Structure 1
Amino acid sequence: MTTPSETPEHDPEARGLRLVAVLLTLTVVSGLIDAVSYLGLGHVFTANMTGNVVVLGFAAAGAPGFSVPHTAASLLSFLVGAVAGGRVARRLGGGSRRTWARLTLAAEAVLLGASAAVAFAAPGATGTTYTLIVLTAFAMGLRNATVRKLGVPDLTTTVLTMTLTGLASDSRAGGGSGRHSPRRTASVVAMAVGALLGAWLVLHHGLGVPLVVATALTGVLALTSSGRE
């Protein structure tokens, strides 16, 4: 039986949007960000680092349309963001998960908002390309470190390889129970929706608008996230 101290009204950590919903929305944001970076910044990923390592190999081999400096800037910025996220996790991770999640999401929203401002202020400039790569990759590294420390199963927000593997191998067809299939399926759909929306916005409205959408979504989550799965 639930006691008064365990109800959401008496548990500050439970107030707000559950982390599963928060992370699924962030997966949509990842699709938006990679649409911006891959389609608009010279075939580089700033959220999906698995793809970026492959792209770096393509660029190093001289494949047309890929850039070693762009990809290296993205990888380095992501790693610096992840270092920052690790430090924040060690500082705040022992306290309120709700506060920790909200502060990190607020930082991501600020970084994405700065990216949007730059995209509108100087579209097409070489400096703009590098600035957007650095800001969005740093934001994704910060977020990934936080998501990893939060430890919500099957919701990494930026990569789907293990999610798809689990979806197939743990399904009834694979001899499993399929218990986590809804969450995993939702993650795949969220990424696809974000990529579709991001690609449409980039192709029809440029880079600034999808970054504004990503900023708005992340900002709402920063105000509404709970600390509970």
Structure 2
Amino acid sequence: MSTEASGPTLQSPSYDPESRGLRLVAVLLVLTVVSGLIDAVSYLGLGHVFTANMTGNVVVLGFAAAGAPGFSVPHTLVSLTSFVVGAVAGGRVAGRLGGGSRRRWARITLAVEALLLGVSSAVAFAAPDATATVYALISVTAFAMGLRNATVRRLGVPDLTTTVLTMTLTGLAADSRAAGGTGRHSPRRSASVAAMALGALLGAWLYLHHGLGLPLLVTAVVVGVLAVCASGRE
């Protein structure tokens, strides 16, 4: 007597393991919130330096080099260097994993980012006022953002870089109906801008009311959840 399968199996043509979990568009939007949160914490709490937005950091480096008060050349250089090293590491990971399962690749990278952010949070809770803590947090969070950005770049999901909004805003305006375009990608671009603003708001509020440790812990938990549930599909 034969029986019919009640649902898709590993051998079924309809079974696609890459589709299991939260789609990459949603994952990248949440990561954009995390980027805004991290930059709020780093800029407000680590000496006016960005650890996610390197465009801003290059400008900050110019301010610091000119002697503008409140900016630090060493802090900014540590952030830039750590980010680049993280991006190199992300590129190597992409070279090893990028040709296989997109889902596995994204989850491994997010798990590493969550671990690094968790370490940053632990350091911030343990010694929030130490000079070494500032350099440790800058270097570890910037490395994590470099690792993530290299991965996001290779994933190639349009209009969702998670850290830079200049081209997103340009596309939003230049392709809008007011500019004679179709506005087809406006919802995704608008969501990306809103996500960054929300993250900055949340990060600033958490830092001002709870210090460095809690907002970094929040980022670690959020990214950790994404590492568990991300899919490989847009």
Instruction: Give the alignment's TM-score, normalised by structure 2.
Output: 0.95
Between Structure 1 and Structure 2, how many residues are aligned?
Answer: 224
Q: 2:136 aligns with which of 114, 120, 131?
A: 131
Match of 2:161 in 1: 156
TM-superposed deviation, 1:124? 1.1
Q: 2:178 aligns with which of 173, 177, 180?
A: 173
Give the Cα–Cα distance (whole angstroms) in 2 for the partners of residues 216 and 169 of structure 1: 37
**Structure 1 unaligned blocks of 5 or more:** none
Match of 2:70 in 1: 65
SS at match of 1:227: coil
Matched, 1:199 2:211: no
SS at match of 1:165: helix
Give the Cα–Cα distance (whole angstroms) in 1 for the partners of residues 152 and 18 of structure 2: 17
Match of 2:47 in 1: 42
| Identity, % of aligned positions | 82
Matched, 1:84 2:72: no
TM-superposed deviation, 1:6? 5.7
Give the Cα–Cα distance (whole angstroms) in 2 for the partners of residues 21 and 73 of structure 1: 31
Q: 1:217 aligns with which of 222, 226, 230?
A: 222
Match of 2:195 in 1: 190
TM-superposed deviation, 1:129? 0.1
Match of 1:93 in 2: 98
Aligned-partner residue type, residue 106 of structure 2:
A
SS at match of 1:13: helix
Larger radius of gyration: 2
Matched, 1:25 2:30: yes
Provide runs of 4+ in structure 1 moved above 2 Å. 4-7
Give the Cα–Cα distance (whole angstroms) in 2 for the partners of residues 28 and 210 of structure 1: 12
SS at match of 1:81: helix
1:34-77 CA distance string (max 9 Å, x none): 01100000000000000000000000000000000000000000
SS at match of 1:211: helix
Give the alignment's Cα RMSD to 1 decimal.
0.8
